Amino acid sequence: MTVIQNQAIVDKPVDAVYAFLADCNNHEQLMPTSIYNWSSTRDEASFTIQNMAKLSLKIDCRVENREVVFVPAEKAPFDVTLKWEVSSQDQHTLARLTVEADLNMMMKMLAAKPLQKLVDEQVDRLKRLMHS
């Protein structure tokens, strides 16, 4: 299992960050420009990753003010789980995005760097969005 993660301190209370992350409609704002054909509801999102694949994700689990877990809504090229965890840090929130992907060696060589870039960009965008 390949595990990719990043985290940031967000200048908002944990309930505000959780509420944002718990709605798939908000996640389009976290996506890089290589994502297109975005479509979402509160519980599900589908999109295309440029030069890669079309993905559909759904929320598998919500634990209020703690975590939001996404899994594929339909057959994906590999098993993947995305988990946002939030925890209170004084008046701020620690937000951590973890991607766990079941990648064979060849897929790992191709996908690990783009997945890390995706995680880094989403965490950075969340931090910037929540500061405005």
Cα(125)–Cα(8) distance, rounded to whole angstroms?
10
At 35-94, the pLDDT tens digits run 899 999 999 999 887 776 788 999 999 999 999 999 999 887 778 899 999 999 988 999
Across the range 91-115, mean pLDDT stands at 91
Q: Where are the domains of the chain?
A: 2-131
Residue count of the chain:
132
Name the pTM for this structure.
0.92
Name the burial class of residue 75, with classes exposed (0-12), middle (13-18) and buried (19+) by CB atoms within 10 angstroms of its CB: exposed
Instruction: Report the pLDDT averaged over residues 3-29.
Output: 96
Its CATH class, for the domain covering 2-131, is: alpha beta
Which residue, among 130, 128, 131, has the nearest Cα to 18 in the 3D structure? 130
pLDDT band with cut points at 50, 70 and 90 for residue 131: confident
CA 23 and chain centroid, separation: 12
Sole residue written with tokens 């992350």 = 21
The answer on pLDDT for 132 being more than 80 is no
The span from the CA of 38 to the CA of 27, in Å, is 10
Distance CA 80, CA 64 (A): 22
Q: List C-alpha distances in Å: 24 to 31, 64, 106.
A: 12, 15, 30
Question: Does residue 29 register a pLDDT over 90?
Answer: yes
Is the model's pLDDT at 27 over the cut of 80?
yes
Nearest to 114, CA basis, from 102, 129, 99: 99
